[in-house]
Structures are given as structure tokens and as C-alpha cells.
Amino acid sequence: MPYDFDALIVGAGFSGLYQLHSLRDQLGMKVRVLEAGAGVGGTWYWNRYPGARCDSESHSYNYFFSKDLIKNWEWSERYPGQAEVLRYLNYVADTLSLRDDIQLNTRVVGAAFDDELCGWRVTTQDGQELTSQFLISAVGCLSSANIPSIPGLDDFRGQYYHTGTWPHEGVNFAGKRVGQIGTGSTGIQCVPVIAAEADHLTLFQRTANFSIPAHNGPMDPDLREDVKKNPDFYKELVRSTTNGHPFRIAPRKVSDVDEQEQTEIYEKAWAKGGLRFRAAFEDLLSNQEANDTAADFIKAKIKEIVKDPETAKKLADIDHPFATKRPPIDTHYFESFNRDNVSLVDVRARPITHIDETGIATTDGHHEVDIIVFATGFDAMTGSLLRMNITGSHGLSLAEAWSEGPKTYLGLQVAGFPNMFTLTGPGSPSVLCNMPVAIEQHVEWVTQCISFMKDNDLGRIEPEAHQCEEWAKEVNKAADATLLPKAKHSWYLGANVPGKPRMFMPYAGGFAHYASICDQIAQENYKGFSFSRRP
Ligand code: NA7
């Protein structure tokens, strides 16, 4: 074999673990996973911030490919917390004996396709060079932490942390004044937990956000047993829905019901909580008027919960339609503003000017803090791929190829980058989905594709360039059929990272529909991909 490995996989989260298992144990390939962290788990290894919890329901947030894995695992809560998901992924790594083929503490800093070798030369931070026929990126969509470049941060004499690279030993907030920047899903989870511990929490809000109560609690034992007894039913359910979640969107439009019934439906959905709220009507994400009814309902709830009218007004002053940014779910987020030790600063109205030795300055004053928490998100979907300095055929860098935004075929491959697969890459449903469902579909598709290549003695695969152009149009068309592009400051568009090209990145046409397109292409002998034998 001219290569060190048949396949190198970057990342040991949900996607890397399953991809290793599939290629090694189903296709008998020699595979190594390279993982920057000191343990497996990906997102769940890094994101240890206070309150970190999954917003998919536990019984759908696991692999479905193995009934044994389902039977022998017990989720304890409706939504799994970070530590529990991490334990789950360690359980998978042990049960499937994956650890021997995972190289931890190994960050990939370069990957170049060598045409003569017909494979990849991958360089690690500690100077190792490894070759492989296939390079599979399993780096996740939200792993490249984004700390905004606010002048003066280096002068700050306290501590600061980004939620996505949280210290393993935790942070002691007792007796501290904390400044938190960011009100996305992460920030909304942090607030109640930090507020309960800290002396004072000042939240710097640039964009007010919708949030639905999670109503987390112990896992329903009947549901847990039912999933173990009927795993195929749940697998089929999550794979047949728009977002890979274990519930169906109600087949009714807002206009099908009168105002009173509408309110009753929203009240019920609010009481049930979680992402299911979005499924109350089928046109919430496609019809502005329908969306307004949900938005108005949530804004009224915010004003009902938050006692101080000024604070409530700032929290409810939301500039985008409901669910056009990733919709957070929370545990007592809005209630936290009724505490005496929590204050809200509107930095849209009065922007942060700089950070100095003792705190955060805005245009209307200075806020003394001991700790700054950056819940400021990620260079999403492309950041971690670009950070690997990938160079394709004929020396083309991925950064050059994507200078106007990421173009892929199905989110799985990039023209000019042969034998590279991008699991949950830009152009696939990924972040609009319950991730493990999107991941399983991608891993299985890639495994079948490589199996097809082996069976047909093919050594090289890449998409035809025009297919990537066409798919980019499809991705745009799918987004334009929804209200999603109306959130102008969204990371779905790359808008949260200065200088990043604006392009709607995830495929919004629905998971089940996307999967059927991928299957169809595979059945047509991978139409749109070009293959060749190894030279
Ligand atoms: P998000 O959703 O990107 O949220 C980041 C938040 O940080 C958001 O409120 C941003 O405001 C805010 N932000 C970012 N930069 C700044 C600056 N410079 N000043 C003030 N505020 C800023 O990241 P999350 O980690 O919460 O969630 C990411 C995903 O992880 C989540 O959707 C789940 O899928 C898991 P903005 O809205 O841009 O005005």
C-alpha cells in the first residue's frame, strides 16, 4: 500500500467515531482518526460551559445504526447535559473498541492532495506527516471559537473565557462580577447558571433573541423503554422529518384556525416546551404573517415573565422573525432578569468601545467585571475546515476555492479536492438538523461511496465543478423559500465573522428530502461525481 492509511479522519466527535467504525469494521480499511483534544467527544469535549445542554431530546440524540448501542444506554433527562453526552460518546468508543485507532492531542495544520500519489499528505502540529487515500473531515460545524477582536482585551486584568474552549476544571464565579457577551443558544444557557453563582452578572446583548422553555426533567421511563423496544420506529421517525427531530410538524397553517385556537395551540406548545414549539404550525418558517403570530406570542411571554418593563422591552425588541436564527431553548433564562444581581446592557444601542484593565466600556459608561465570558459563537461551518490549510489538486487552496463562499456538491465534496469528504459540510442540512441524524446519513453515504469505489477498482473521486455551482443555487433556492435569510446577522450566513463572505450555508430544503437526493445520486452511479483509477 503506498499510503500510511486508507483513510484519515479529522475529529473524534459523533461523525468521526461512526466514520471510523464504518470504514474499519464494515469495509476492512486501515483508518486513523486525528483529534486535537485530549479525549473523544468533539463539541461535547470542548463545550463545558455552565449550563451546557443539548437542545435535541435525548432519545433522538444518539446513533441509531446499532440496536445494541441503544439497548445498553440509559439517558437520564429529557435533554442530555454536556457531561452525559460526553459519557455516551466514550461509551460508544469503548463498546466499538475505537480508541486504538484514534490519535489524541493531534491538531491537523496542513493537508495537501498529491496528484501523483492520488492521495493526501496530512501534517500535524507536532510535525508528523501521514499519507492516506481519503481525507475525511469530521471537524463539526461549530468548533472554531470566535472571540471578537475588541480593543484592549489584552489589558484586562481579570480572566476571560470562550464558552467553546471552557476550562475542564470549571470556573469559580462565587463572589465575582461577571460580564457575559452573547445571547445565542449558548449565552442563554449560561445566564441562569452563572447568575446563581456570581456576585453580579452583566449581560451585554447585541441582538435580543427568542427562547422557548425547555422544561427539562427526568427522562420519561416509558419513552425510554419504548425506544429500546422499537428502535426502528424511532430511526424511521427522525429520518423522515424535516429537521431530524422525533416529532412531526403539525399539518396546519396559522390561518386554518381562529385567534383563540391559535393562542390555545401556542399555550400548549409553550407548556410542552423545546424545539417542538416550532412544529405548532407548518408555515411558521415560510410565511411572515404566520411567523408574526408566534413572534408576538413569545414577546408577550417575555413581557409577562420579566418584571422590570425597561428590561423586558430590551429583551423583547427582537429584530428577526422567530426561528430564523437558531432557536434557543432555555431553563429560566428570562426569569433570571428578575434577580437583583443580573443586569442587561443593550450594546446594539450603546456599543462596546473597548475593554480595559478593569472591565468593559460601552458608549454610555464603564462596567467593572472580574471575569468576561465570551458566548460569542463560532466561525461556523467553514472555520474549522479552513483552519486546516487544505490544498487540493494543482495547488488550489480551499481558502481560494471558497473566497466567495463555500461551494460544495451536496455538502459532501468540493471540486478540485479529490478524495476529500466533508461530513456535515456547508451545503448539507447539518445545523438545521438534529445533528446525529444528519451525521449518520452522511457517514453511511460516504461509506457506501467508498465501497462502490473499491468494488469498481476506482482510486479517485471528485465532483464536477459545474455540479458545485448548481448545488450552490439549490442551497440558495431552498433558503429563499423560507424566512431564514431575513435574519441578516445570522451565522447561517457567515455574518458573525467580520470579512467572511455572506452566503447561506446550510441546506434548508429539509433533511428527508436532502437524503432522498443523495440516495438518488448514489443509485445513478454517483451522477455528478467523476471517478478515475489510481495512476
Ligand atoms: P451564536 O448563536 O453565534 O451566538 C453568539 C452571540 O454572541 C450572539 O448573541 C451574538 O450577537 C453575540 N456576539 C458575537 N460577537 C459579538 C460582539 N462583538 N459584540 C457583542 N455580541 C457579540 O453562538 P452560540 O454559541 O450561542 O450558539 C451556536 C450554536 O451552538 C447554537 O446555535 C447551537 O446549535 C449550538 P449577534 O446575534 O451576532 O448580534
Distance 491 CA to ligand 1 centre (A): 8
Distance 8 CA to ligand 1 centre (A): 32
| Site to substitute for ligand 1 among 49, 143, 186, most atoms within 8 A of C-beta | 186
Closest CA to 96 of 16, 35, 38: 16
Structural domain contains residue 520: yes
> Quick one: what percent of the chain has pLDDT higher than 70?
100
Per-residue pLDDT tens digits for 377-403: 999 999 999 999 999 998 999 999 999
Total structural domains within the chain: 1
Distance 358 CA to ligand 1 centre (A): 24
Structural domain contains residue 292: no
pLDDT greater than 80 at residue 352: yes
Per-residue pLDDT tens digits for 210-257: 999 999 999 999 999 999 999 999 999 999 999 999 999 999 999 999
Distance 374 CA to ligand 1 centre (A): 9
Q: Is 377 in the pocket of ligand 1 (CB under 6 A)?
A: yes
Structural domain contains residue 468: yes
Q: What number does the ligand 1 atom closest to the CA of 496 have?
A: 38
What pLDDT is recorded for position 534? Answer: 79
Structural domain contains residue 104: yes
Predicted confidence band at 98 (pLDDT cuts at 50, 70, 90)?
very high
Predicted confidence band at 535 (pLDDT cuts at 50, 70, 90)?
confident
What is each CA distance from 290 to 50, 293, 295, 299, 510, in whole angstroms?
Answer: 35, 5, 9, 15, 19
Q: What's the CA angle centered on 447, arms 442 and 448, to 5 degrees?
A: 100
Structural domain contains residue 344: no
Q: What number does the ligand 1 atom closest to the CA of 328 have?
A: 32
Report the predicted TM-score, pTM, of the whole model to 2 decimal places. Answer: 0.97
| Site to substitute for ligand 1 among 79, 147, 161, 206, most atoms within 8 A of C-beta | 206
What average pLDDT does the segment 361-370 reach?
97
What average pLDDT does the segment 67-85 reach?
98
Cα distance between residue 340 and residue 195, in whole Å:
10
Per-residue pLDDT tens digits for 179-192: 999 999 999 999 99
pLDDT greater than 90 at residue 1: no
| Site to substitute for ligand 1 among 161, 354, 376, most atoms within 8 A of C-beta | 376
pLDDT greater than 70 at residue 7: yes
Distance 182 CA to ligand 1 centre (A): 5
Sign for the CA dihedral angle at 446, 449, 455, 460 comes to negative
Angle between helices 231-239 and 221-229 (to 10 degrees): 90
Structural domain contains residue 503: yes
Residue nearest to atom 18 of ligand 1 (CA): 148
Q: Which DSSP string corresponds to 219-260?
A: PPHHHHHHHHH-HHHHHHHHHTSSSS-SSPPPS--GGGS-HH
Q: Is 243 in the pocket of ligand 1 (CB under 6 A)?
A: no
* Residue 166 three-state SS: coil
Structural domain contains residue 258: no
Query: The CATH number of the domain where 401 resides is what?
Result: 3.50.50.60
SS3 content of the chain, % helix, strand, coil (to 5): 40, 20, 45
Residue 34 structural domain: 5-40+98-144+379-532
Structural domain contains residue 64: no
